[in-house]
A = this chain, B = another copy of it.
Amino acid sequence: MNLQEALNSFNDWQNKLSAYNHAMSVIYYDAATVAPKKTAANRAHALGILSEETYKLSTGDEIVSVLEFLDSHKEELNEKEQRMVYLAYKGMKEMKKIPIEDFIAYQELLVKADDVWHKAKEDSDFELFRPVLEEIFEYNKKFAKYCAPEKHPYDYCLDQYEKGLNMEKCDEFFATLKARIVPLIKKIGEAEQVDDSCIHGDFDELSQEKFSLELMKIMGIDLGVCGLGTTEHPFTTSIGSHHDVRITTHYQRDNFASSMFSVIHEGGHALYDMHSDDEFAYTNLDGGVSMGIHESQSRFYENLLGRSEAFVNYVFPKVCECFPNQMKGYTAHDLYKAINLVTPSLIRTEADEVTYCLHVMVRYELEKRVMSGELEVKNLANEWNKLYKEYLGVDVPNDREGVLQDSHWSGGSVGYFPSYALGSAYGAHLLHKMRESVDIEKCLAEGNFEPINEWNREHIWKYGCLKNPDELLREALGEEFDPTYFTNYLEEKYSKIYNI
């Protein structure tokens, strides 16, 4: 094998892998959006086989020798090739540590879990979901042991979603937030409350959908490449490459702001995914590098831009066009205040910017304890409710609005949640940096996202997975990441809104 032959084989292998990923992404997307309800077992049959094929493709003798060859010739590769080979070689070695039976059984479990979770959530019945959730946590412990026996299993999980993250860093990060956010919430609670009646009412789904598409266009999302679907839990997925991206939302008839900010949030994910360097398509450099960076983009659009006064002023006439009767008598400023109401609540995805991180901390705390063996899954619902009372002061009335609200665990994502808080904080620091060269207020006031998107494209999006998240962030920021930009931002914005 010479270098060119090895690179050709490597290239064929990446293409093939992308086709399998394409297939599995469409199957998942279809399942979440339109598949008939009783088809989970049929889907599990296909996904089990496809993931077995993926496993074999990823760990087969042929690719192993190609990767070993390329790794031993890495000085002869260019930067992109080096990174591709590094990631593939590392991924292959890690995957080989997981026995194929476990790998397949876990994939099949996740298909089943998705179905069970939906039913359990519908019936608000944690006990229904408990057995599969126990299995999911057990598999995560098992995989951690296979892949990184030297680490705490939860550190292994955290690292899966944000390279280099561990409990020590999380603890410090959350402590910093807590120290500033808890007093802020207290002050807000004592101040005069804002009126959010203008986002409540009766908003039919068709008008909300029309508004969603309008928002996507304003954000500069090409609707020819990015589709919009409806699901229980909003998400973003790429289909095979950044040339086909889908976002989903969930329409609440009594509150149009819920879907509005889901769309802007998922739209941020979509913009990131859609703007990888075109050369990266069908390779392992395509798409976002980590969930932390991903959330830094989604929460950037959702909150730092979407919930800003300048943007609300711009978008208000469009809100009135879509919901003329419901908006009668309200002003843009009413809407701005309504969407920035701070109040301890039950549902993470509906939470305001200030209390949001406390929702994340609950999940972090619980995952840490389960993965450490300190907490049994059967006690998870109770502990969830206890922590919500402790952190947010709210009583959880049922599992649907409690421990069953998120789709992450049923999807096997243990260790994902901290990315949301990290991403929020990354975003605030990025905003600070972006202000040096972009007049963000002016852009938002004009509904012109192009200069903002351009900055993100140049500093974040185009790199795909070429750099590690910490390196990418440091280079974009020009300094080390500092979470106090986030707490400063929160204090400044909400002191004004609440006159404190």
Q: Which residues of B contact A27 (CB under 8 A)?
A: 22-23, 26
* Interface segment, one of A61-69, A236-244, A337-345, A467-475: A236-244
Across the interface, do A39 and B225 meet the contact criterion of CB distance under 8 Å? yes
> A33: CB under 8 A from chain B?
yes
**Interchain CA distance A45-B17 in the complex, whole Å:** 12
Contacts A23-B23, A27-B22, A29-B30 given; does A223 touch B46 at CB 8 Å: no
Across the interface, do A19 and B224 meet the contact criterion of CB distance under 8 Å? no
* A156 to B: closest C-beta gap in Å: 30
> A50: CB under 8 A from chain B?
yes
Across the interface, do A244 and B22 meet the contact criterion of CB distance under 8 Å? no
Task: Out of B30, B48, B224, name the residue touching A30 (CB < 8 Å).
Answer: B30
Q: Which residues of B contact A224 (CB under 8 A)?
A: 36-39
Across the interface, do B222 and A50 meet the contact criterion of CB distance under 8 Å? no
Task: Out of B24, B30, B244, name the residue touching A36 (CB < 8 Å).
Answer: B244
Across the interface, do B50 and A19 meet the contact criterion of CB distance under 8 Å? yes
* A406 to B: closest C-beta gap in Å: 25
Q: Which residues of B contact A33 (CB under 8 A)?
A: 34
> A226: CB under 8 A from chain B?
yes
Task: Out of B42, B241, B281, name the residue touching A244 (CB < 8 Å).
Answer: B42
* A46 to B: closest C-beta gap in Å: 4
> A229: CB under 8 A from chain B?
yes
Q: Which residues of B contact A16 (CB under 8 A)?
A: 49, 53
Across the interface, do A18 and B46 meet the contact criterion of CB distance under 8 Å? yes
* A227 to B: closest C-beta gap in Å: 4
One digit per residue, 1 when the CB lies within 8 angstroms of any chain B CB and 0 when it does not, for chain A 290-319 equals: 000000000000000000000000000000
Across the interface, do B34 and A46 meet the contact criterion of CB distance under 8 Å? no
**Interchain CA distance A26-B19 in the complex, whole Å:** 13
Across the interface, do A227 and B19 meet the contact criterion of CB distance under 8 Å? no
Across the interface, do B227 and A41 meet the contact criterion of CB distance under 8 Å? no
* A27 to B: closest C-beta gap in Å: 5
Task: Out of B15, B29, B50, B223, name the residue touching A23 (CB < 8 Å).
Answer: B50
**Which A residues between 326 and 378 are near B, CB-CB below 8 angstroms?**
none
**Which A residues between 444 and 489 are near B, CB-CB below 8 angstroms?**
none
Q: Copies per complex?
A: 2
Across the interface, do A19 and B49 meet the contact criterion of CB distance under 8 Å? yes
Q: Which residues of B contact A49 (CB under 8 A)?
A: 15-16, 18-19
**Which A residues between 236 and 285 are near B, CB-CB below 8 angstroms?**
239-241, 243-246, 281-282
**Which A residues between 32 and 89 are near B, CB-CB below 8 angstroms?**
33-39, 41-43, 45-46, 48-50, 53
**Interchain CA distance A226-B38 in the complex, whole Å:** 9
Residue of B nearest to A34 (CB): B227
Residue of B nearest to A42 (CB): B243
Task: Out of B206, B227, B281, name the residue touching A35 (CB < 8 Å).
Answer: B227
Residue of B nearest to A222 (CB): B38
Across the interface, do A22 and B46 meet the contact criterion of CB distance under 8 Å? yes
* A422 to B: closest C-beta gap in Å: 30
Q: Which residues of B contact A53 (CB under 8 A)?
A: 16, 19
Task: Out of B43, B206, B243, B282, name the residue touching A39 (CB < 8 Å).
Answer: B243
Q: Which residues of B contact A24 (CB under 8 A)?
A: 23
Q: Which residues of B contact A245 (CB under 8 A)?
A: 36
**Interchain CA distance A240-B244 in the complex, whole Å:** 23
Q: Which residues of B contact A50 (CB under 8 A)?
A: 19, 23
**Interchain CA distance A240-B35 in the complex, whole Å:** 13
Across the interface, do A239 and B23 meet the contact criterion of CB distance under 8 Å? no
Residue of B nearest to A241 (CB): B42
**Interchain CA distance A240-B111 in the complex, whole Å:** 16
Contacts A15-B49, A43-B244, A46-B18 given; does A34 touch B36 at CB 8 Å: no
Residue of B nearest to A38 (CB): B224
* A387 to B: closest C-beta gap in Å: 37
Task: Out of B22, B46, B229, name the residue touching A19 (CB < 8 Å).
Answer: B46
* A246 to B: closest C-beta gap in Å: 8
**Interchain CA distance A245-B19 in the complex, whole Å:** 23
Q: Which residues of B contact A22 (CB under 8 A)?
A: 27, 42-43, 45-46
Besides A37-B224, A38-B224, 4 other CB < 8 A contacts? Answer: A19-B53, A30-B30, A41-B243, A46-B240
Which 9 A-B residue pairs are closest in the complex by CB-CB distance? Answer: A38-B224, A23-B23, A19-B49, A22-B46, A42-B243, A39-B244, A19-B46, A36-B227, A42-B244
Name 28 interchain pairs, CB-CB below 8 A, sorted by A.
Answer: A16-B49, A16-B53, A18-B45, A18-B49, A19-B45, A19-B46, A19-B48, A19-B49, A22-B42, A22-B46, A23-B23, A26-B27, A33-B34, A34-B34, A34-B227, A35-B227, A35-B244, A36-B223, A36-B227, A37-B223, A38-B222, A38-B243, A39-B224, A39-B243, A42-B239, A43-B240, A45-B282, A46-B240
